[in-house]
Structure 1
Amino acid sequence: MPHPAPRPFDGLSAVVTGGSRGLGLLMARRLMARGAAVTIAARDRTELADATALLSGTGRAGRIRSAVCDVRDQAAVRDLFAEVAARDGGVDLVIAGAGIIQVAPWEAAGTRGFREAMATIFEGALNTATEAMPHLRRSPAGGRLALIGSIGGLVAVPHLLPYSCAKSAVAALAEGLRAEEAARGVTVTAVHPGLMRTGSHLHARFGGAAEKEYAWFSALAGAPVVSMDAERAAERIVSGIERRRARIVLTPAARLAATAHGLAPATTTRLMSVFARALPRHHGEHGEPVEGHTLTPPGGPAARLRRALGALNDKAADRFNQRGHDRPPGSPAG
């Protein structure tokens, strides 16, 4: 009787931060399909339990475990990797995907919003890379690290400036780490997705005219032509990590935007200025940002258009563990 063909990640130990829902959950599933023993990490214990149940029921080849961890706490991240390494005999592959999305004019986000984005998105990625690297250097398979950036880190997007600034720092970190760690046998992949239908609009945080901000963001994030199917995106990302690619930019729109900005940054900025004029105006609102699942967008024809464009994204929220549990304000996504 012939033996089954070996899978690319058979026997490897993988960690996915931000792995309890959305893209992180789907990447964990793809790693399992390739034979890895996967540990998903996030802050919310209940979400992690739900995610573990979802992944355990898929019949995937790999194993799944979960760990409560706040990536903003470097000591907690250190303990996470020490625990995984002791249990699995090492750490071979890490995806740093924890983050938050804030949607508001920059003044409404305030300096606090920028600091929160940097703490969770950039410092979370930095803590993950710092504490994972000693383990990855010892991996017999050659360690792999992927940092999840965004097209928003390659092109500054109006009303997403805290997010864009933090993701831009992640992009620089990934490129620099790849250059410095190549001699030690560790490959680092920078991942820059465009809009994906993950259901993340329900956990994005909205400020300023929050209902109007939610309306445009949720519609655009779910628009079929502009956004990408999240399961397909996860497969592309994990496949790129498997091949040790330096950079992955997902969706044709994102690749076009990144290329255009590199060739003609002034023109791209002018186009973003036109886009910004179409977004909700800031009228001095400085209330606490609120999560999308608490909001009801304005009614009328615009609401019907939002529902039509966002229908696929709303369905994705049901499939990718995005519904059902509130989180503390400012907590990392996934």
Structure 2
Amino acid sequence: MTHRTRLPFRARGPGALVTGGSRGLGLFIARHLAERGCTVTIAARDADELERAAAQLREETGATVHAAVCDVRDRDAVRGVLRAVRERDGLDIVIANAGVIQVAPVEAVGSAEFADAMDTMFYGALHTSLEALPYLRESRGRLGLIGSVGGLLGVPHLLPYSCAKAAVGALAEGLHAEAAGSGVSVTAVHPGLMRTGSHRQAEFGGDASAEFGWFSAAAGAPLLSMDADRAARRIVDAVIQRRARLVLTAPAKAAQLAHGVAPGLTTRLSGVVARLLPSASGRSPLRQGAEAGEPRNPVARRIRSWGSARNDRAVREANQQEPGPRTSS
């Protein structure tokens, strides 16, 4: 039997909010919170996707699950959702997970893509944190901010994502220090590659099909990536246990250690990796994974098919099967 850390018993279940909870990692996190007795609210932009996810969670867990349409870039919208959750269910756990993934060489993107990543991931986490903290002080609650190994070092062809996730990591560490005296715990979570089916919703630029090929293969490769359900369980355990920091996957831990010990060498090695990735002749509109197409090279197609097989199987379970507005990572 798998051990799950549970929250202390209460007459009512703890109230939990997960942003970006309609698909991918956020959906798996919401499922584990529901299985631990929480009344869960999932928030994202797409109403249809949210309702499909909420129905899936209710059927799987038997828990009370609410859906809230919310754009985390809008602080007023975040404030309204948090107030409603606190008044209806109480607010004990908040996990800020909403994000976007843009995969392209830097010459294929512009400042708008960086702004989009920062608005959704950093400012989304910031708005959620600032609006949640007063309620969490009342409940001596828990806040989790989902960063990434991509925020611990600059990852080629993921620079908007890396920049935004680095800011989320700094925010989590600073809030953990400042909130410690109030009884609120803040957990910084830095996952590596996970099999969440996110390659279907990520956006690809430059040679979009080639970018889709390497990203989807890496995100599903057995030795590089982690099962998303297992990752979500460990994330929920870390937040409940009030851990300050969690880094997931062996490659992510190795990358973090290498960058800490020898940052210059790690950066030079990243340059070698970058030269192996697809090149771009200029800017072009980003295309969602479902529209990017398979790599043109037959060898690359076979590698993608092999590497992404497990990730492809996660698409339906993670509610990633239909393209829609970008809401979660």
TMscore range, shorter length: over 0.9
2:80 is matched with 79
- Which residue of 19, 24, 27 maps to 1:25? 27
- CA distance in structure 1 between the partners assigned to 2:288 and 2:263 by the alignment: 32
2:251 is matched with 253
Counterpart secondary structure, 1:39: strand
1:181 is matched with 179
**Amino acid corresponding to residue 72 of structure 1 in structure 2:** R
1:1-334 equivalences under 5 Å are 7-8=6-7, 10=9, 11-60=13-62, 62-88=63-89, 90-139=90-139, 142-284=140-282, 286-299=283-296, 300-324=298-322, 326-328=323-325, 331-333=326-328
Counterpart secondary structure, 1:35: coil
**Amino acid corresponding to residue 25 of structure 2 in structure 1:** L
- CA distance in structure 1 between the partners assigned to 2:145 and 2:319 by the alignment: 22
CA contact (8 A) 1:215 1:306 kept: yes
**Amino acid corresponding to residue 327 of structure 2 in structure 1:** P
* Residue 49 of structure 1: how far off its partner (Å): 0.7
**Amino acid corresponding to residue 128 of structure 1 in structure 2:** T
CA contact (8 A) 2:212 2:295 kept: no
**Amino acid corresponding to residue 45 of structure 1 in structure 2:** A
* Residue 327 of structure 1: how far off its partner (Å): 2.1
CA contact (8 A) 1:9 1:35 kept: no
Identity of aligned residues (%): 56
- CA distance in structure 1 between the partners assigned to 2:101 and 2:292 by the alignment: 15
Is the alpha carbon distance of 1:9 and 1:233 closer, same or farther for their aligned partners in structure 2, counting shifts above 3 Å? farther
**Amino acid corresponding to residue 287 of structure 1 in structure 2:** S
In the alignment, structure 2 segments of 5+ residues that lack a partner are: none
TM-score normalised by the chain length of structure 2: 0.95
* Residue 194 of structure 1: how far off its partner (Å): 0.1
- CA distance in structure 2 between the partners assigned to 1:8 and 1:180 by the alignment: 24
CA contact (8 A) 1:136 1:144 kept: yes
CA contact (8 A) 1:203 1:292 kept: yes
CA contact (8 A) 2:18 2:40 kept: yes
CA contact (8 A) 1:105 1:158 kept: yes
Number of residue pairs matched by the alignment: 321
TM-score normalised by the chain length of structure 1: 0.94
In the alignment, structure 1 segments of 5+ residues that lack a partner are: 1-5
- CA distance in structure 1 between the partners assigned to 2:6 and 2:190 by the alignment: 26
CA contact (8 A) 1:9 1:34 kept: no
* Residue 9 of structure 1: how far off its partner (Å): 5.6
Counterpart secondary structure, 2:95: strand
* Residue 277 of structure 1: how far off its partner (Å): 0.4
**Amino acid corresponding to residue 247 of structure 2 in structure 1:** V
- CA distance in structure 2 between the partners assigned to 1:59 and 1:182 by the alignment: 33
Please provide the CA RMSD for this pair. 1.2
1:147-191 per-position Cα deviation (integer Å, ceiling 9, x unaligned): 000000001100000000000000000000000001111000000
CA contact (8 A) 1:9 1:31 kept: no
